[in-house]
Amino acid sequence: MLYREAGDFKTTYGEDGQTFPIRFDRMGYYVTLAVAFGVVPLVINDYWANAVFVPFLIYAIAAIGLNILVGYAGQVSLGTGGFMAVGAYAVYKLMTSFPDVPVLIHVLLAGGVTALVGVLFGLPSLRIKGFYLAVATLAAQFFLVWLFNKVPWFYNYSASGQITVPQSKMLGFYVTGAQTSASAKYLFSLVILVLLAIVARNLTRGAAGRKWMAIRDMDIAAEIIGVNPLKAKLSAFAVSSFFIGVAGALFFAVYLGAAEVTEAFSIQKSFLVLFMVIIGGLGSIFGSFAGAAFLVLLPVFLKNVLVGQLGWPTDLAAHLELMIVGALIVTFLIAEPHGMAQLWRLAKEKLRLWPFPH
């Protein structure tokens, strides 16, 4: 009844090519945006910001980035943690070297730096495929983390080897540092996420995205119809790394505040983001959001139930959490290997007919 294309006539090319051609989708999108910008910042407190919203927004950026590489271009990468570290250290060096420049510019520049590093580590993808490539990207993960740990220039020769974010303001509000309010953190991450998501959505349905998908589906055939594999693969690595670098920069500057590279950007991060992409749905921007939300909320939920409700010791709860997360991932892959995006697609098919299925 609500969700249908019938009767929704398009009279201009602009309308025909819009991101959400179905009215119900479009309304849903605007309502979500209105709630996210208008309601949540007013009611958010420190617990919700730090436990749920800010990590969700930041992981969503990383998941979109990885989804571009894995889901759209078909190049499996396990180096996400390393690339996030590049973003974090780039934004740290930029913020400490040029304190007067607005932090938004630093974050985007950090993404740019990560894109360069990503292209460098993407070069082997021209020769190596599949699992060999996945394992090869681990080289990026281990090498980059080692580099940031061992070369003191990256952490400004601080005694602890940690990096700590300096305070900075935008439009008169603190956005990084200890005095940042919950809503400022949230809004800053949200603005960047929305901008990047729009960019990603339009890249993936444009010429660039079609080239990536052609390479993913069959690289030789793609080459024959005129897609340059060098450009397509490296541009996928660049765009993906840009997103992941921005996510890493935000993760350090806005969310953590202080970071130690071997802890904050370990290989577990790489797996976490990859899980988000797979559970959310490969090759879907909506899926990246869904996957990030699921894997950010799940530990919070489990912890509240096991420790808060049942009163179990935290170490036992942590181990049980590992088991439950593992079992859920396996169950999910068995039940719906195409992820939550596929569930949503099926739900939409049902909605088209609802409530008169015949």
Partner 1 sequence: MPDQLLFAMEVTLNGLMAGVMYSLVALGFVLIFKASGVFNYAQGVLALFAALTLVGLQNGQVPFAHVINTIFGTNLHNFGWKLPALLAILLTAGVMVLLAVLIERLVLKHLVSQAPIILFMATIGLAYFLEGLGDVMWGADIKKLDVGLPQGISETIESITDRWFGYGFFIDNLDIVATVVAVILVASLTLFSQYSKQGRALRAVADDHQAALSVGISLRFIWVLVWSIAGFVALVAGIMWGAKSGVQFSLSLIALKALPVLMLGGFTSIPGAIVGGLIIGVGEKLFEFAAGPLVGGATENWFAYVLALLFLVFRPQGLFGERIIERV
Consecutive H or E run containing 192: helix 182-204
* Cβ-based nearer residue to partner 1, 76 or 193: 76
Q: Per-residue x/- mask for partner 1, residues 52 to 91, rule CB under 8 A?
A: ------------------x-----x---------------
CA 244 to CA 64: how far, in whole Å? 8
Count Cα neighbours of 189 within 13 Å in the Cβ-side half-sphere: 33
Tell me the DSSP string of 110-174: HHHHHHHHHHHHHGGGGT--HHHHHHHHHHHHHHHHHHHHH-GGGGTT-TTS-EEPPPEEETTEE
How large is the greatest C-alpha to C-alpha distance in the chain, in angstroms?
71
Residue 301 contacts partner 1 per CB under 8 A: no
CA 60 to CA 66: how far, in whole Å? 10
Part of the chain binding partner 1 (CB under 8 A), chosen from 30-38, 108-116, 124-132, 206-214: 124-132
Work out which of 104, 116, 139, 343 binds partner 1, going by CB under 8 A.
139
* Cβ-based nearer residue to partner 1, 312 or 344: 312
Q: Residue 163 pairs with which residues in a beta bridge? A: 259
Consecutive H or E run containing 175: strand 173-176
Count of residues binding partner 1 (CB under 8 A)? 49
CA 272 to CA 276: how far, in whole Å? 6
Work out which of 131, 153, 157, 356 binds partner 1, going by CB under 8 A.
131
Work out which of 333, 346, 347, 353 binds partner 1, going by CB under 8 A.
333
* Cβ-based nearer residue to partner 1, 129 or 303: 129
* Cβ-based nearer residue to partner 1, 149 or 167: 149
DSSP helix, strand, coil percent of the chain (3-state; round to 5): 75, 5, 20
Residue with tokens 């409530």: 355
Question: Which 173-232 positions form the footprint of partner 1 (CB under 8 A)?
Answer: 220-221, 224
Residue 101 contacts partner 1 per CB under 8 A: no
CA 60 to CA 277: how far, in whole Å? 9
Minimum CB–partner distance for residue 145 and partner 1 (Å): 8
Residue 322 contacts partner 1 per CB under 8 A: yes
* Cβ-based nearer residue to partner 1, 90 or 282: 282
Work out which of 35, 98, 326, 354 binds partner 1, going by CB under 8 A.
326
Site residues (vs partner 1, CB under 8 A) = 70, 76, 124, 127-132, 134-136, 138-139, 142-143, 145-146, 149-151, 220-221, 224, 267, 271, 274-275, 278, 282, 312-313, 315-316, 319-330, 333-334, 337
